[in-house]
């Protein structure tokens, strides 16, 4: 899988990986490490969400396997309060690796979400507002209806906004070149004529 955009689209989107798909989205994810001003398509966003979900499931399976291995290896079932003491250095290293991985994907993940919102035509500042509302919901009484409702509203709105189709890119006729990837039957001056008609 590859990047399915031409140079003019990449310049207009402020993203040299615009329209990346498949495994190329991993390169795009880390290549745009702190790019908060560009745009990213649905494929860039949802491929990364798929990879993060798979990694989270694998980490959870490894964690459960470590717990089961510890319990199975001991003569008696350890006290839950002392369970982590039985897991020892291996669990500490595992938790440290998970923490470092979470830190490594924090900024690129925030940047990707901001770019996805921009690509869908949503102002970037909607995302920080959603994060603030979600954090405020966490401060409410645990398990209350208000907390659950706020969390669900925020999460559902994030999903809906991330699913929105891409808005057209602001590609100017000056960005179009002979090697822009357009079909050779398309005359780039057609784009300039539209601008002249609008004036």
- Does residue 191 lie within any of the structural domains? no
Residue 107 lies in a domain: yes
| Residue 26 within a domain | yes
Mean pLDDT of 134-153: 89
Residue 146 has pLDDT above 60, yes or no: yes
- Joined together, the tokens standing for residue 120 give 């869908």
Residue 16 resides in a domain: yes
pLDDT at 186: 47
pLDDT digits (tens, 9 = 90+) for 72-115: 766 666 666 666 666 667 777 888 888 999 999 999 999 999 99
Instruction: Say what the pLDDT of residue 190 is.
Output: 55
CA 15, CA 31: separation in Å to the nearest integer?
9
Structure tokens at 172: 């100017």
- pLDDT at position 91: 75
Q: What is the domain count for the chain?
A: 1
Q: Which residues pair with 130 in a beta bridge?
A: none
- Domain containing residue 64: 8-175
Q: How far apart are CA 80 and CA 127, in angstroms?
A: 39
Beta strands, E only, the chain:
none
Can you give the pTM of this predicted structure? 0.76
Has residue 74 been placed in a domain? yes
Strand, helix or coil for residue 37 = coil
Confidence check: pLDDT of 10 > 60: yes
Answer yes or no: is 138 within a domain: yes
Q: Is residue 128 part of a domain?
A: yes
Average the pLDDT over 158-186 and give the result: 68
Confidence of residue 3 (pLDDT cuts 50, 70, 90): confident
Residue 191: the pLDDT is 54
Residue 188 lies in a domain: no
Cα–Cα distances (Å) from 123 to 33, 49, 134, 163, in that order, read 20, 21, 18, 15
Residue 3's SS3 state is: strand
Average pLDDT over the chain reads 82
For the stretch 116-134, pLDDT in tens is 999 999 999 999 999 999 9
The pLDDT of residue 39 is: 94
First to last CA, the chain: 41
């Amino acid at each position: 899988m590859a990047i399915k955009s031409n140079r003019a689209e990449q310049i207009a989107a402020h993203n040299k990986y615009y329209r990346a798909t498949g495994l190329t989205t991993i390169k795009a994810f880390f290549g745009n490490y702190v790019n908060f001003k560009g745009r990213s398509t649905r494929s860039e966003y949802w491929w990364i969400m798929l990879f993060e979900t798979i990694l989270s499931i694998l980490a959870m399976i490894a964690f459960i396997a470590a717990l089961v291995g510890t319990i199975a290896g001991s003569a008696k079932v350890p006290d839950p309060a002392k369970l982590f003491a039985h897991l020892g250095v291996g669990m500490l290293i595992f938790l440290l690796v998970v923490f470092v991985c979470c830190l490594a994907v924090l900024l690129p993940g925030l940047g990707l979400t901001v770019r996805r919102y921009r690509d869908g035509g949503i102002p970037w500042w909607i995302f920080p507002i959603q994060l603030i509302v979600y954090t405020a919901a966490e401060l409410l009484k645990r398990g209350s209806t208000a907390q659950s409702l706020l969390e669900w509203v925020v999460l559902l709105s994030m999903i809906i906004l991330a699913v929105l189709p891409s808005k057209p890119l602001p590609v100017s006729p000056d960005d179009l070149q002979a090697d822009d990837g357009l079909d050779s039957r398309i005359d780039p001056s057609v784009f300039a004529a539209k601008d002249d008609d609008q004036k």
